[in-house]
Amino acid sequence: MPYVSTNPSNTSDVVTEIELGTSRTFVDAAERARAAQREWARVPAPVRGQVIGNIGRLVEANAEQLAQLVTREIGKPIGEARGEVQEIVDTCNFFVGEGRRLYGQTIPSEMPDKQLFTFRNPVGVAAIITAGNFPVAVPSWYIVPALLCGNSVVWKPAEYSAASAQAFYDVFQAAGIPSGVFEIVFADGSETFTGLEQALQRGLVDKVGFTGSSEVGVRIGELCGRHLQTPCLELGGKNPMVVTEDADLDLAVQGALFAGFGSAGQRCTSLGTAIVHESVYDEFLTRFTAAVSDAVVGHPTGDVLYGPLLDEKFALAYEKYLGWIGEHHTVHGPTGRITSSHPRGGFTGEGGLFYHPAVVSGVRQDDELFLQETFGPIVGVMKYSSFDEAIELGNKPGYGLSCSIYTTDPDKAFRFRAGISAGMVSVNNSTSGAEAHLPFGGNGKSGNGSRQSGVWVLDQFTRWQSMNWDYSGTLQKAQMDTLEIEADLEFRLR
């Protein structure tokens, strides 16, 4: 079945056309990956690290072309697209060295003439399914460490970012990865799920990584659980930003603007609700709405806060979220699609899937707008009185990915960190902006506690193996044949 990927800034611009595969396509790719994995795992880890280094250098050499393609295909502002491509390079730079640091340990035994060891072994075949809002950075978080650790990979990217995915795959192939070790599959969600189910049933997949919605993450978690596997799930977010009475309000406004509307609010780490102390609520709201009003929205090749929504299906979903605005809310400025009959000042786009930024105040804790992820350019604002109330509100939606607090009081910063359920906490910074060597991931509806990036992701793509080597020439039984040293435990100083 053909699929046409179009430019969301100009939907008549066809970026690429691909043929979508079936569940059989996915299974076939998993079989090829299974056949290639053992030989790849035999390649010494430092040499696999050299391949990762090759990838990093190739991405650097093709950085501008890749960034421009990302901007054209998904509408991400070019500055953000260049940052996304740089994140692949950063990830590769980090994991080059990990090829020489896949450490195990030598552990003392309680027996004489016996040694204990631990080793990291690859899990086998990793099936990676990613969204298209970060079409090249997020896949690298999975694929680079998976390959480094000696796994083979079957990757299913989002259809609407197919051209970016193909370019990413082509760069990786040029780095010297053997045939079958890294497979790409284009398929829709239904066929992918069926293919994954069949591949798991046949023992072809040993690890699943998924970035996407919480709803689909639940289904994948259930599927993997039936096969006694623990997937790496990076799901949605409803990320709070707490603004305390002692916050630098100008800085908080800058953070809210980027967190709420960067990438048109289409990040799992985008700001959901600003939770503002009642004493500074009115002032924050005045400054924030002014900043949003002044922000430039438009064609992503220019200097804009954000461009279009990713794809038609996301525009339709966003229209539903706008329907959650109720009579008790106050909407600051226009909402909906930017058109000639519904214009925005300073708009630099033309046609396309462009939407007005929406700031909604008067949000209540039982609102859908407060409780559910809203994947688009909309930010809720609400009041709090006590600091404990702010933390409770931050946790209430049940997500736990990212959060932020703006304060000049260290005590509040650390109390917030200890009380909030999110996997990532920012102090006086945006809810978005992960670094490639820091653990990334969430809890609750945002994930199952798995982490990507840095050394922490190695636990997703390796399994610990222990070995004991007894060279005493006799059978020594742990806990039974151990040497005992007597002590006078009744001794007391007089």
Helices (H), 162-266: 162-174, 189-201, 214-225, 249-261
Strand partners, 378: 358
The two structure tokens encoding residue 441:
């991931």
Cα dist. 83→59, 229, 381 in Å? 12, 34, 29
Q: Is 470 helix (H, G, I), strand (E, B) or coil?
A: strand
Torsion of CA 286, 287, 291, 293, to 10 degrees: 10
Question: What stretch of H or E contains 79?
Answer: helix 78-98
Residue 197 contacts residue 220 (beta carbons within 8 Å): no
Where are the strands (E) in 25-110, listed by range? 106-108
Which amino acids are annotated catalytic?
Answer: 234
Token match 């653990």: residue?
439
Where are the strands (E) in 308-461, listed by range? 330-331, 358-361, 378-384, 399-400, 402-406, 424-427, 443-444
- Whole-angstrom Cα distance, residue 226 to residue 247? 48
Scored b (16 or more CB within 10 A) or e, 125-149 reads bbbbbbbbbbbbbbbbbbbbbbbbb
Residue 103's CB is within 10 A of a number of other CB atoms, namely 11
* Rg (alpha carbons) of the chain, rounded to whole number: 25
Question: What stretch of H or E contains 48?
Answer: helix 45-61
